[in-house]
Amino acid sequence: MIESPEPVQSAEKPGEQLAVLETRALFLPHEQFPVLREELEAMRPDIEAEIALANGQTVTNLEQAEFAGVILSKLDDRQKLIEGKVKPFTQIAFKLHRWLTSYNGEWTSPLETARRSLKGRVIAWQVEQERKAEKERQRLQAEADRKAQGVRDRIQREIDRKNAEAQAAKRTETHEKKLQQVEELREQQAAVAAPVVNVEPPKASTVRTSKRWQAQVEDLATFLEAALKEPTLRGYIEVDTTKLARGKSANTALLAPGIKFYQVTV
């Protein structure tokens, strides 16, 4: 048997006193809960009989359907009776949970606020370092691209000069030789590419952070049009049939292409 806790002499706040006094019922099995249990146990034969009667009932004609209605009414009444007896205990538990949740929040909410604020400053610093690193990468990449373009431009000028010499050559072999040199220069030019520059931001702090993707709808019509052509995108389209059903209930004239509305009996 669960022993009743010692009475609380005082409470700092009315909410605490209310919670303690009302939830003491949870610790008084010798006063309250056994009474409920005895009442429910006394009902058990009737409950089992009503369940057996409901499970054994067949409905193939009007008379059986009418009798099923009587059984359903008895089951509803029995369920309401039990819920009414248990409700005082669930209300006590709900009040305790609500108060403890609020009480917990009084202590933890400031901690969580401080934690989020401080971590936010760390993340802001990391994002700024990444921004600076990316800006430096773009600068170095642009410089590398300019150098590579300069090499290609010099080769192009040489190509133009060789082409001019080829056109001015009076001997066929000289003309062909110049054209061959032009082809070699074009191959050199095509091979000139700027190196890919990578700049790493400073080492991140020991604060654990992570990156995650987010999605934002910019043009729903464009997305839906693409989903019609790309099957993999269709899996990301979710039709809220519950909301559609409520809309149909509110407006029976509602029609939605591709959606079938139907009624069920409950």
State mean pLDDT over 48-74. Answer: 96
Q: What's the chain's average pLDDT? A: 87
Domain boundaries, given as residue ranges, for the chain: 14-122
Q: Give the pLDDT score at 10.
A: 42
Global pTM reads 0.59
User: What pLDDT does residue 13 have?
Assistant: 58
Which one, of 94, 99, 87, 91, lies nearest residue 17 by Cα?
99
pLDDT of residue 29: 45
Q: Is the pLDDT of residue 2 over 60?
A: no
pLDDT given for residue 210 in this prediction: 87
pLDDT in tens, 140-183: 999 999 999 999 999 999 999 988 988 888 788 888 888 899 99
Q: Are the C-beta atoms of 110 and 117 separated by less than 8 Å?
A: no
Predicted confidence at residue 20, as pLDDT, reads 61
pLDDT class for 16, splitting at 50, 70, 90? low
Please, which pLDDT band fits residue 18 given cuts at 50, 70 and 90?
A: low
pLDDT tens digits, 198-238 = 998 877 678 888 889 999 999 999 999 999 999 999 899 99
- What does the pLDDT average to over 46-53? 96
What is the C-alpha to C-alpha distance for residues 90 and 92, in angstroms, rounded to an integer? Answer: 5
**Which pLDDT score, from 0 to 100, does residue 205 have?**
76
* pLDDT score recorded for residue 9: 42
Question: What pLDDT score was predicted for residue 14?
Answer: 53
* pLDDT score recorded for residue 141: 94
pLDDT of residue 17: 63
